[in-house]
Amino acid sequence: MSLVSGTVLVTGATGGIGSAIATLLGANDASLILTGRRADVLERLAGQLHARAIVCDLSRREELELLAAEAASAAVDVLVANAALPASGLLTEIGRDRLDRLLDVNLRAPILLARALLPGMIDRRRGHLVFVSSLAGKAAAPASSVYSATKFGLRGFALGLREDLRPHGVGVSVVLPGFIREAGMFAQTGVVLPFGVATRSPEDVARGVIRAIERNCAEIEIAPLTLRTGASIAGLAPELAARVSRFLGSERLSAEIAARQRHMR
């Protein structure tokens, strides 16, 4: 049986991107376990997809521990760690408690869920972990130091873990979306991108997740060529990329996104 049609845990399923991922997995006959904070939205989606719903706030460590234990007992074949909070803004504007919450949801939770699920996957020599990072995990922007830290960290964790699990028949992938329209953290801001900066859809992200599982891809970028090229250049020459980005108006755009996401953190 294909991993895609096995037992799949999707975090952040109540968001637009998580919902698109869950819906496409359901269309591929996956046995779904969906988690999210909003019980009404989660239960409605789970009913539509004949999935199991587990309400969980990943920033609450006791709830995360219970979710991890339930997922491990369910012999999950695939983890799609999609949940995240918008951690945009200047570091000095983010309070200590809020900072802990952002780090817990964006980085600590996916690491601990992977840790809980791995013994079973290794024993069965079957499984896949998908971590939804961001192009911000390859190229940092102004007013995004904490968000980039979590997304760089998630990407590094996934790529290192991929090598550790290679001998055990367990795959690991990172999916890196750029600007996603219609749903998700960026779309909710209503910010208008500069002319020529293209977006992708939640369904594009979902298709990327399926492709990552089926082909055991190390990384899949969900973005137009211009953004993917820019992220690659940023990895090789960060100072040059930052200068070009500033010239193109990144400071204004990042500040506007951060201002509109402030209430979402």
Using DSSP's 3-state secondary structure scheme, residue 136 falls into helix
Query: Which amino acid appears at position 227 of this protein?
Result: L
Distance of alpha carbon 213 from the chain centroid: 14
DSSP string, 104-132: IIIIIHHHHHHHHHHHHHHHHT-EEEEEE
**Active-site option among 131, 147, 152, 157:** 147
* Residue 220: its H or E element: strand 219-222
CA distance 215 to 97: 39
- Dihedral sign for Cα 144, 206, 77, 60, please: positive
**Is 147 a residue of the active site?**
yes
Instruction: Give catalytic residues, as residue numbers.
Output: 147
